[in-house]
Structure formats: structure tokens, C-alpha cells
């Protein structure tokens, strides 16, 4: 009688990146499957949350509370971790990942969750000491090191989400802060000009300088930054935070058949153009739930969801991604500022409904009765309903009157707004 020997071969899943998407994928694999070999490759040595860094800089979060997961959790689950390790290239033809050390790591399926890096604009003097970004823990620690020597004046280049969070954190450290934004208002990808004007007021009430429609020509000083040149004006500083935006980390796939646009293009299963290679998080250009187009909506919940869906499909579960949301929430000195969907500039012509009462401002952008955009400052009530309507493409015409009558949007304020317009 012949005996048949069956060799069990583990499928090897390799994940590059330990941000929101990468860790979400690893956690999903741990929860769903025990018969795979998982390798996590990351430049980091700690698993922390990026969104907590401004609060860490401001002294609101202690270092010991930064980490999302203890490394022991992954070790106990059998995850092989290559920490403090850089990937130089992905080779889909040989199904391998090349490391900076010269070694190769083979894979059966690969998830690229490399995130994004800060854009460094072509400004003279950007290489001086005292110039930082705020996109990783190392950046935060560099700011705190300088803070020990007392930062008296700081300039933030960029008035977007990260720029404003950086400015408020530095303000809490006791620095006099100035924000330089080249667009004509702050948070240009999140808010319209009228909504952003209220953000201006919130910041200026705390003595933060705002310079819009302005660009930094060069950084002043010898080795260490001592100021910035903005047009004909000089603004003194001993720290500059560059926050003009981020760019997906695509270098490791250059020269491969993995298709890209702004980021790595993925389908409903988070697959790239190479079937056994997936992408998730800020590096991935995935379905936008509302517009039904591919887009990078680089926020934490989207990255978590994409990492989970990618992992499930790497395990063969065939789960469709329902799409990302364009939603941003920032607290400016305890005042919440929320945006959902698109701005008026992005939409073009649409019905605009504004409500302004006391310290609450709301702006609803409708096309054919559907919520295309929403901006609110000072109060988040009804945001859940509006987000759901935006996601589903629901015609809210029939419920507008109900919205007008509730405690949040009083009828007399609505009527006064209509009279003004």
C-alpha cells in the first residue's frame, strides 16, 4: 500500500507599514486566521497613532499613552516583526520585498500600507536647523527637544489640518505662533471661505497670527532658522513647522506594473493591478463612497477600514470595500470644526443653506436635494444624520423642514438667514 504524504505549506502574508491601515490589517488577520505566516515590516519601533502627535507636543498626552498596541500582543499572536526596517523595492515578478539591508522577504500576498510623507516645498533655507514637519513621532520629539530650550516664536507654513493642529500645539507650549497659507483662507481643502473666516477668529482670539494669500520666499538665519521672509515682510522665529501637505509613499513600487495615479489604484477588494498585491491607507487611491470615484481620503477611519478589508480579501473572503468618506474633524481651542463631503469650490453650483446663531455656524450644500457637502463650527448635533445622508446619496428635501424646526436650527434663525440672502 502506498502512503500519501501531504505537506502543509503556510501562505505568507507580508505587510509593509505599521500605521492605521497596516496594524488594522494585522489585527484582522489575528482575529480571523491562525494558519498563515505573517510578516510585518516597518520603519517604526513603536505602534503609535499619528493623530495623537499634536496633543503629545502640547503636553496633553504622556509618552506612555501614545502606543496603540504593545509589541508583545503581536509577538504572542505569532506575527514576525521586522522593526526599524526600510523597504527599498517591491518585485511583483519574483513575489519578494527588498530591504535596505540587502535581504529579500518572499510573499504570497502583499499589503502596501506605507502611508504618506510631508511635502517639502522648494523654499530657500529649508535645510536649516529648527525646521521640522509633524508627521511622525521623531518630528514630535524634535519639537519637544527644542521646546526645552524655549521656543519663543514659531512659524507654521501651511494652514491646512496639520498646520493648524501644529499651531495650536505650539501655542500651548507658550510660543507666539504665525500661520502662513498661500490660499486665500485656512483649511482650503476642508472649508469654504466664509466658514474658514470663523476659524480665523478662533485662532486670532488666542493671538495666533494669520497670513493668507501669502508665501514664504526664504528662511532667514545662518545655520539655525531665525525668521522667514514673506513678501517684503520678515517674521522672526526660532522654529518653523512645514505643513503644506503630504504625498503618498510610492518609491518602493517604481518601475513595477503596479498602476498609480496620485496614489496606488485599487479595486473594490483593495487589490492593485497586480492580483496578489494590495494597498490601503494614505497610499491607496480607493473608492469614494459619495462620488463613486477613486480618491485618497487620508483620514484615520478610512485607513482602518481599508486595512481590515484588504486583510479579509488576502485571506480569501471576497469582501467589497464600500468606499471612503471625506470627513474631517478638528478641535480648535475646544471648538469643534467638522466638514463632510466637498466644498463649494469643488462642487460648483449648488443650493447653499447657511445658519449662523450665537457661536454655531452651519453650511449645507445640496445638489438635487442630496447632501454634497456640510460644514459646521461649534456644534456637532445632527452630523450623524447628515453623514449618513451624504453616504447614501439620500434626497433630504422632505426632511429639511424638520431640520429647520428642531432645537439645533431654530425657525426664526432660518427665516432671518433667508432674509439676508
Q: What is the mean pLDDT of residues 382-399?
A: 85
User: 312 with 31: CB under 8 angstroms?
Assistant: no
Determine the pLDDT at residue 383: 87
Q: In the numeric block, which cell numbers belong to residue 20?
A: 492605521
Q: Which homologous superfamily does the CATH classification assign to the domain defined by 11-117+247-314? A: FAD/NAD(P)-binding domain (3.50.50.60)
CATH 3.50.50.60 positions along the chain are 11-117+247-314, 131-244
CATH 3.30.390.30 positions along the chain are 336-420
Determine the pLDDT at residue 112: 98
Work out the pLDDT band at 373, boundaries 50, 70, 90: very high
Kindly list the distances between the CA atom of residue 285 and the CA atoms of 14, 19, 115, 289, in Å, as whole numbers in the listed order.
Answer: 20, 16, 11, 12
Measure the CA–CA gap between 60 and 171, rounded to whole angstroms.
13
- Does the pTM exceed 0.85? yes
Determine the pLDDT at residue 412: 34
User: 184 with 213: CB under 8 angstroms?
Assistant: yes
From the list 219, 156, 216, 207, the residue with the least C-alpha distance to 186 is 156
Exposure letters 157-183 (e unless 16+ CB within 10 A, then b): bbbbbbbbbbbbbbbbbebbbbbbbbb
Q: From the CB of residue 345, how many other CB atoms can be counted at a distance below 10 Å? A: 11
Helix (H, G, I), strand (E, B) or coil at 284: strand
Find residue 377's DSSP bridge partners: 337, 361
Q: Which CATH class is domain 336-420?
A: alpha beta
Each residue of 20-56: pLDDT tens digit?
Answer: 999 999 999 999 877 899 999 999 999 988 888 888 8
CATH ID of 131-244, from 3.10.580.20, 3.50.50.60, 3.40.50.10800, 3.40.50.10490: 3.50.50.60
Determine the pLDDT at residue 250: 97
From the list 122, 43, 125, the residue with the least C-alpha distance to 87 is 43
- pLDDT at residue 415 is higher than 50: no
Each residue of 398-407: pLDDT tens digit?
Answer: 777 666 554 4
Amino acid at each position: 500500500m502506498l502512503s500519501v504524504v501531504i505537506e502543509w505549506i503556510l501562505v505568507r502574508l507580508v505587510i509593509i507599514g505599521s500605521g492605521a491601515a497596516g496594524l488594522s490589517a494585522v489585527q484582522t488577520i489575528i482575529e480571523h486566521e491562525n494558519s498563515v505566516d505573517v510578516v510585518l515590516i516597518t520603519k517604526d519601533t513603536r505602534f503609535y497613532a499619528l493623530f495623537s502627535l499634536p496633543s503629545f507636543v502640547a503636553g496633553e498626552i504622556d509618552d506612555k499613552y501614545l502606543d496603540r498596541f504593545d509589541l508583545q500582543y503581536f509577538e504572542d499572536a505569532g506575527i514576525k516583526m521586522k522593526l526599524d526596517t526600510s523597504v527599498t523595492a517591491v518585485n511583483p515578478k519574483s513575489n519578494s520585498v527588498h530591504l535596505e539591508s540587502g535581504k529579500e522577504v518572499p510573499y504570497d500576498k502583499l499589503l502596501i500600507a506605507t502611508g504618506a510623507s510631508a511635502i517639502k516645498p522648494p523654499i530657500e533655507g529649508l535645510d536649516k536647523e529648527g525646521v521640522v514637519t509633524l508627521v511622525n513621532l521623531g518630528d514630535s520629539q524634535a519639537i519637544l527637544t527644542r521646546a526645552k530650550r524655549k521656543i519663543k516664536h514659531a512659524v507654521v507654513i501651511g494652514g491646512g489640518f496639520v498646520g493648524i493642529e501644529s499651531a495650536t500645539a505650539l501655542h500651548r507650549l507658550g510660543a507666539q505662533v504665525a500661520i502662513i497659507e498661500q490660499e486665500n483662507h485656512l483649511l482650503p481643502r476642508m472649508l469654504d471661505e466664509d466658514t474658514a473666516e470663523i476659524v480665523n477668529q478662533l485662532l486670532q482670539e488666542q493671538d495666533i497670527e494669520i497670513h493668507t494669500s501669502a508665501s514664504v520666499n526664504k528662511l532667514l538665519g545662518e545655520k539655525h532658522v531665525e525668521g522667514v521672509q514673506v513678501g517684503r515682510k520678515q517674521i522672526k522665529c526660532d522654529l518653523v513647522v512645514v505643513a503644506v501637505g503630504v504625498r503618498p509613499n510610492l518609491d518602493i513600487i517604481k518601475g513595477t506594473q503596479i498602476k498609480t495615479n496620485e496614489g496606488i489604484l485599487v479595486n473594490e477588494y483593495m487589490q492593485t493591478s497586480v492580483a496578489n498585491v494590495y494597498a490601503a491607507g494614505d497610499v491607496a487611491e480607493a473608492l469614494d463612497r459619495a462620488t463613486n470615484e477613486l480618491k485618497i481620503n487620508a483620514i484615520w477611519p478610512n485607513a482602518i477600514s481599508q486595512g481590515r478589508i484588504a486583510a479579509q480579501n488576502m485571506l480569501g473572503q471576497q469582501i467589497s470595500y464600500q468606499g471612503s468618506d471625506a470627513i474631517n474633524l478638528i478641535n480648535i481651542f475646544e471648538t469643534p470644526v467638522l466638514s463632510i463631503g466637498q466644498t463649494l469650490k469643488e462642487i460648483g453650483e449648488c443650493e447653499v443653506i447657511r445658519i449662523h446663531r450665537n457661536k454655531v455656524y452651519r453650511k449645507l450644500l445640496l445638489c438635487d436635494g442630496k447632501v454634497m457637502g456640510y460644514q459646521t463650527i461649534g456644534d456637532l448635533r445632527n452630523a450623524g444624520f447628515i453623514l449618513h445622508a451624504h453616504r447614501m446619496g439620500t434626497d433630504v428635501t422632505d426632511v429639511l423642514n424638520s431640520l429647520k424646526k428642531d432645537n439645533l436650527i431654530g425657525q426664526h434663525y432660518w427665516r432671518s438667514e433667508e432674509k439676508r440672502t
